[in-house]
Amino acid sequence: MSDIIATGAAVPARPKNSILVEDKLMKKRNAAEARFKAYGIAAIAISLATLAIMLWTIFSDGVSAFRQATLTFPVTLDAAKLDPQGARNPADLVKVTTVGYGTLLTTAFRAHLQEKGVSTEGLDDKAVGDMISKAAPAQLRDSVLANPSLIGTTKDISVYATGRIDGFLKGRVTMQTAERDANVSPEQLQLADRLREAGILKLQFNSGFLTNTDASDQRPEASGLGVAIIGSLYMMALVALMVLPVGVAASIYLEEFAPKNRFTDLIEVNISNLAAVPSIVFGILGLAIFINFAGLPQSSSLVGALVITLMTLPTIIIATRAALRAVPPSIRDAALGVGASKMQTVFHHVLPLAAPGILTGTILGLASALGETAPLLLIGMVAFVANYPAGPLEGGVMDPATALPVQVYSWAARSDPAFIERSSGAIIVLLFFLVVMNAIAILLRRRFERRW
Amino acid sequence: MTIFKLALAGAVASVAFAGQAVARDQVQITGSSTVLPYATIVAEAFGENFEFPTPVVEGGGSGAGRAKMCEGVGPNTVDIANSSSRISQKDLDTCAANGAKDIMEVRIGYDGIVFASDVNGPEFAFTPSDIYNAVAAEVLKDGKIVANDYTQWSQFNAALPAQDILVLSPGTKHGTREVFEDKVVLAGCEATGAMKAFMDGGMDEDAAEEACLKLRTDGRNVDIDGDYTETLARLDTNKNAIGVFGLSFYQNNTDKLRVATMGGVVPSTESIASGEYPVSRPLYFYVKLAHMDVIPGLKEYVEFFVSDDMAGPNGPLAAYGLVSDPELKKTQEMVAARTPMGPLN
């Protein structure tokens, strides 16, 4: 202490002016600080603005995908047309194709319009029928085949209107564009207006967007994310099952047991490098090993999960090792000190304390894997899949499926403008899942994390 | 310890799978993204009306699809490759080397290639010569071959509007590129006399063709490697551009695009079927005959695809923009007889 006082005496005389009056140097330093703060705020503003613009475009394009134009009218399921034999024999029922059901629907629709006094002026019968989605006959056929007792009854049904009519209700299609459009005429749009007044045509919440399968370019209105959501769920569940044991085992060994030598150093470097390998490389690997060599089925969520496991493994190992390293050595020393073996130390003390960190890392790894498209491209998951995979216990993971980001990608490339809205809608669903996963990670961290 | 047992079990299970292919109960299709929408329309209708699951259809490109098909025979290889250009002898050789000897070539119809501009812009009536003059690296000007310095359409054809030249042509990996080169650029090269001028300048025919197909790189011709949606987005931001699209894509976006005539003919399924509109190409798919009775539903799918209900002039494919094949009957007979394709000449 006395030294400081002694040297303090040697300091040249203090300047006489007050520190509240800024001299030149001080002004300069304060200005530098103000500038730096401004740069920081600008950087944050730029990133926030980008995020806001991105979210704005996605939501303004995509929210409308959750609402869909539907037509509601009664249909008489004429037994003479649907079951000419009258025996309700499934083999006979199957013979009536969607074409037969299509005419049935069109006739019922026109009859209902007449009954309600909605004029179909300027439109021939085909043009009126064309306002019903091409997916409707198949939906009706499926429900009749599943429940043949419906035949002969009259039933109120709700079917989708075509994508153009839907677009008209949402403002995407206008009278001007319809004049130039081969798929819809202004007269049809005028009829749509009248139908709306009569309460037959409505914009409704479309749960089908979440549950329907993909549909072809001719019926964008009927397409949905059902297969993609199931595929993504299967993949994430399998990835979690595979990546956790392998990743945790590898990290515990490397962190707690492995000797420090050149070989383990080499492994460490390789793990860090693997984490930076472009994801498409893992797709090539997956095609070569899992499909061509192991003979696993193409487009299946199992192969997708294996590929994504390989891809996420390095990230999980790095996160897990960081979590293990954050457990203070005093805990290990204490456990060893009371006579625990190394393994007991790890499994009774270190691992439970590191668990929240490991889980957080895993969930974040899974969240980034959820958004991967590139590796799935090569193993055939970027595809048109119109059948739901079977349940998880019936081998559904071997069935063809797609994934959420894949659906975004393939819808964005379709020619019908209605798919742009659905592509953005799919992004919203994907974002929702990501936010949920990240929220879980934050909650876990908040609740269980220990600080020393 | 359980963790290690689990990992071990996983490893054993994956080894047990090795080498043995898992039986498949749905048709697998891959290939051209131009054929993709047609294939999905057929697959969807097939799944609805037959007792088989809906085939799985992938895009990704003609060449990649054929290569995938030629990987071999067995349930873990695809059954059908869609293609917007004809298969090459090299592909057939690879196929044969990998055991897939009998391939059936099915022509499903024709696809028109159209030139279109922004819907609010002026009308364009092109001839192949106009396109050649707009996009070629070297053009014939006053009897001499010179580097292309045209900046406006009206400079070489007074009937065209005085609008800056910008052509969004299909990229080299596009199936559309071949037709664009053969039926438009090359035809224009011959029509303007540039081809003759090249050959007079001492080039042989191949070299002259190559010179014809060299496109300008000063930014007035832009190769688009993505799909038509990308071309459309570019056209949206630059209203002066002329884009190259498939007929079906144009028909779905008539509210944004104005189609140009070629040689005075408006492109439509009718004018392409009659051969009046010159820029079109056949679309194919290739089936491995060895899979025909092995994969359930394959035979039915192929027959359904070429049936009059689907590929005929009044079918849903024609409604979507496919120009139906006048020789569809022959194709149906070939499919019924399962005639493999002969060697290419």
Distance of alpha carbon B123 from alpha carbon A44, whole angstroms: 47
- On the question of pLDDT at B183 being above 50, the answer is yes
Q: Do residues B72 and B161 both lie within one domain?
A: no
- On the question of pLDDT at B144 being above 50, the answer is yes
Distance of alpha carbon B146 from alpha carbon A411, whole angstroms: 44
Q: Do residues B183 and B223 both lie within one domain?
A: yes
CATH superfamily for A226-448 is MetI-like (1.10.3720.10)
Distance of alpha carbon B10 from alpha carbon A193, whole angstroms: 60
Question: Bigger pLDDT: B331 or A84?
Answer: B331
Q: Which residue of A has its CA nearest to B28?
A: A298
Neighbours of A428 (CB within 10 A): 16
B19 band by pLDDT with thresholds 50, 70 and 90: very low
Residue A437, both tokens = 């996963």
- On the question of pLDDT at B18 being above 50, the answer is no
CATH number of the domain bearing residue B130 = 3.40.190.10
Q: Would you state the pLDDT for residue A85? A: 79
pLDDT in tens, B98-116: 988 889 999 999 988 999 9
Does any domain span residue B6? no
Q: Which residue of A has its CA nearest to B73?
A: A292
Q: Tell if the CB–CB gap between B254 and A398 is shorter than 8 Å.
A: no
Most confident range (mean pLDDT) of A76-85, A298-307, B56-65 is: A298-307
Predicted ipTM of the assembly = 0.84
Q: Do residues B127 and B101 both lie within one domain?
A: no
Question: Bigger pLDDT: A151 or B55?
Answer: B55
Which residues of chain A neighbour B17 with C-beta distances below 8 Å? 294-296
Distance of alpha carbon B306 from alpha carbon B303, whole angstroms: 6
Q: What percent of chain A has pLDDT over 90?
A: 55
Q: Which residue of A has its CA nearest to B25?
A: A399
DSSP 8-state code for residue A149: G
Q: Tell if the CB–CB gap between B22 and A94 is shorter than 8 Å.
A: no
pLDDT in tens, A428-451: 999 999 999 999 988 988 888 777
Q: Tell if the CB–CB gap between B228 and A242 is shorter than 8 Å.
A: no
Q: Would you state the pLDDT for residue B17? A: 46
Which residues of chain B neighbour A216 with C-beta distances below 8 Å? 37, 40-41, 43-44
Question: Bigger pLDDT: B135 or B275?
Answer: B135
Among B234, B255, B280, residue at a domain's last position:
B280
Tell me whether A387 touches chain B (CB under 8 Å): yes
Which residues of chain B neighbour A292 with C-beta distances below 8 Å? 71, 76
- On the question of pLDDT at B321 being above 90, the answer is no
Q: Would you state the pLDDT for residue B132? A: 92
- Pick from A88-102, A159-173, A261-275, B204-218: least confident: A88-102
> Chain A 190-219, CB below 8 Å of chain B: which residues?
215-219
Q: What percent of chain B has pLDDT over 70?
A: 93
CA A278 to chain centroid, in Å, comes to: 21
Which residues of chain A neighbour B3 with C-beta distances below 8 Å? 245, 248-249
Distance of alpha carbon B80 from alpha carbon B89, whole angstroms: 17
- On the question of pLDDT at B12 being above 50, the answer is no
B172 band by pLDDT with thresholds 50, 70 and 90: confident
Tell me whether A413 touches chain B (CB under 8 Å): yes
User: How large is the average pLDDT for residues B268-282?
Assistant: 87
> Chain B 177-196, CB below 8 Å of chain A: which residues?
none
- On the question of pLDDT at B227 being above 90, the answer is no
Q: Would you state the pLDDT for residue B302? A: 94
pLDDT in tens, A203-259: 999 999 999 999 998 899 999 999 999 999 999 999 999 999 999 999 999 999 999
Count the residues in chain B. Answer: 345
Q: Would you state the pLDDT for residue B166? A: 93
Residue A356 and residue A445 in contact, taking contact as beta carbons nearer than 8 Å: yes
Distance of alpha carbon B89 from alpha carbon B344, whole angstroms: 6
Q: Which residue of B has its CA nearest to A163?
A: B252
Q: Do residues B211 and B69 both lie within one domain?
A: no
- On the question of pLDDT at B251 being above 90, the answer is no
Q: Do residues B153 and B256 both lie within one domain?
A: yes
Among B280, B304, B328, residue at a domain's last position:
B280
DSSP 8-state code for residue B142: T
pLDDT in tens, A417-429: 899 999 999 999 9
Tally of domains in chain B:
2
Out of A217, A246, A248, the one facing B320 most closely (by C-beta) is: A217
Tell me whether B28 touches chain A (CB under 8 Å): yes
Domain regions of chain A by residue span: 5-62, 65-222, 226-448
* pTM for this model (two decimals): 0.85
Structural domain boundaries, residue B317: 20-110+283-337
Nearest to B91 by CA among B107, B69, B75, B108: B69
- Pick from A95-99, A426-430, B6-10, B213-217: least confident: B6-10
pLDDT in tens, A43-76: 999 999 999 999 999 999 899 999 999 999 999 8
- On the question of pLDDT at B13 being above 70, the answer is no
Tell me whether B231 touches chain A (CB under 8 Å): no
Pairing of strands A154-160, B261-262: unpaired
Strand-by-strand arrangement of the A154-160 sheet: A154-160, A67-76, A201-205
Among B261, B280, B299, residue at a domain's last position:
B280
Tell me whether B30 touches chain A (CB under 8 Å): yes
Q: Do residues B26 and B128 both lie within one domain?
A: no
Q: Would you state the pLDDT for residue B16? A: 46
Does any domain span residue B102? yes
> Chain A 23-52, CB below 8 Å of chain B: which residues?
none
Q: Would you state the pLDDT for residue A1? A: 46
Does any domain span residue B11? no
Name the β-bridge partners of A75: A155
CB contacts < 8 Å between A and B, how many?
132
Residues 6+ away with beta carbon under 8 Å from A398: A296, A297, A300, A302, B22
B15 band by pLDDT with thresholds 50, 70 and 90: very low
Out of B10, B17, B48, the one facing A242 most closely (by C-beta) is: B10
B226 band by pLDDT with thresholds 50, 70 and 90: confident
Does any domain span residue B202? yes
Q: Do residues B42 and B128 both lie within one domain?
A: no
Distance of alpha carbon A82 from alpha carbon A97, whole angstroms: 9
Out of B44, B51, B56, the one facing A215 most closely (by C-beta) is: B44
Which residues of chain B neighbour A97 with C-beta distances below 8 Å? 48-49
Tell me whether B33 touches chain A (CB under 8 Å): yes
Does any domain span residue B1? no
Most confident range (mean pLDDT) of A122-136, A164-178, A302-316 is: A302-316
Which residues of chain B neighbour A246 with C-beta distances below 8 Å? 7
Distance of alpha carbon B242 from alpha carbon B232, whole angstroms: 10
